[in-house]
Amino acid sequence: MDSISGSGSDFPLWSFFAGLLDVNEETAGPAFCAALVESVVSNKLTKEEIDVFSEPRSERGFEILGTFLGKLIEANERLQGQQVEGPSPVIPAPAS
């Protein structure tokens, strides 16, 4: 899975996302998906921003792509920070 399948492009998509998200190439796909979900769940990336990618590149321009990639990087950093911190401690309920 080195390039965009079926698109007629030889762009090394997973290598690109591995470098962008600072992960190894084998985990680039899951890291991309996790960052995308995190961006949407945290309301950092809206449906309207995602829908723009259904428009031809000539109409949407490149600025939105930079914004999208920046939000993925931020989401990936949040997720990595959560892994470093570990799960929130469970506070026991007061004894009655």
Task: Using a cut of 0.85, tell me whether the model's pTM lies above it.
Answer: no
Given a cut of 80, is residue 9 above it in pLDDT? no
φ, ψ of residue 43 to 5 degrees: the values are 60, 25
- pLDDT, one tens digit per residue, over 61-87 is 888 889 999 999 999 999 988 876 565
User: How would residue 42 be classed by pLDDT, with cut points 50, 70 and 90?
Assistant: very high
Helix or strand run (H / E) with residue 50:
helix 47-51
What angle do the packed helices 63-85 and 13-21 form, to 10 degrees?
Answer: 60
**Domain ranges for the chain:** 13-80
Six-digit token pair at 91?
A: 């506070």
Rounded mean pLDDT, 23-30: 94
Higher pLDDT, 10 or 28: 28
Gap between the Cα atoms of 3 and 29, Å rounded: 12
Six-digit token pair at 46?
A: 């809206």
What is the structure's pLDDT at 36? Answer: 94
